[in-house]
Amino acid sequence: MIFLPINMIFFQLLLLITSVNAVTLTYRMLAHEKPCFYATAERAGEKINVYFAVQSGGNYDVDFDLSAPDGTVIVSSTSENSVDKIVAAKIPGDYKFCFYNAVATFESKVVDFDITSESDAAKSRIDANPEFFTKTNPDEVKTLIEKVKPIESSVDNMRSTFDGITKDLRYFRTRENRNFATVKSTESRIFWFNIIQNCLILIVTYVQILVVQTLFSKRKMY
């Protein structure tokens, strides 16, 4: 049997890392619009994470559904302002994510969303190159696995910390955008309230002047 050198074995172990494909988008939905987006699962069992949050518009709610490649609806929800779900792909193919802005009559809505597919890179690489991963010394592999475990643990901790930071940043971004939209809405209401109030004051003043003029003109007639 041909054994690969120790550095080649270590290189193989580094290849056995879970790969993550992520797409982060911001989309402005018009009234009654139904945009759809797709994410590809290369094999069954891949984890698909779907996150979205309505940043501005209306009551910050949209309808949402997730469909499998065969058309089966996996997740469906209505009047959601934010969703963060993880779904295991049962079959490979393109998974469809659709948003509905059916409630809003005129207002558009801004939605931030992130579609992440997480695949087992180790299995895919081993399936693609079986000979490359079998020409190894079992004893050396066991020794290297023990050495790589701390690295794997550190990578998992970093990824967990990164995911937590990402969620916090998403939350702060959403709160900032919604608070800014509330401030703009309040500012607009105050502006129009003052305009209407001033118009009413002018109308009342004009009516009072007319009433006073009418009273004095009647007295002069007597």
Tens digits of residue pLDDT in 44-64: 888 888 888 888 887 888 888
- Given a cut of 70, the residues of the chain with pLDDT beneath it are 1-23, 103-105, 119-142, 144-145, 218-222
Query: How high is the pLDDT of residue 138?
Result: 65
Look at residue 201 and tell me if it is in a domain. no
Query: How high is the pLDDT of residue 15?
Result: 47
Look at residue 155 and tell me if it is in a domain. no
CB 84 within 8 A of CB 53: no
Please state, as a whole number, how many other Cβ atoms lie within 10 Å of the Cβ of residue 168. 10
Look at residue 45 and tell me if it is in a domain. yes
Query: How high is the pLDDT of residue 205?
Result: 92
Look at residue 172 and tell me if it is in a domain. no
Parent domain of 112: 19-119
Q: What is the CATH number of the domain that holds 113?
A: 2.60.120.680
Residue type, 205: T
Query: How high is the pLDDT of residue 135?
Result: 55
Query: How high is the pLDDT of residue 200?
Result: 95
Task: Please return the burial class of 110, using the count of CB atoms within 10 Å of its CB with bins 0-12, 13-18 and 19+.
Answer: middle
Query: How high is the pLDDT of residue 219?
Result: 58
End-to-end CA distance of the chain: 130
H-helix or E-strand spanning residue 96: strand 93-100
Look at residue 138 and tell me if it is in a domain. no
The structural domain count of the chain equals 1
Look at residue 94 and tell me if it is in a domain. yes
Look at residue 179 and tell me if it is in a domain. no
Query: How high is the pLDDT of residue 23?
Result: 57
Look at residue 103 and tell me if it is in a domain. yes
Which residues 6+ apart lie within 8 Å of 79 measured at CB? 59, 61, 62, 63, 103
> Listing from the earlier edge strand, what are the strands of the sheet with 47-56?
19-29, 109-119, 47-56, 82-88
Q: What dihedral do alpha carbons 198, 200, 201, 207 form, nearest 10°?
A: 150
CB 64 within 8 A of CB 55: no
**Tokens standing for residue 137:** 């010394």
> How does pLDDT run across 158-201, given as a tens digit for each residue?
877 887 888 888 888 888 888 888 888 889 899 999 999 999 99
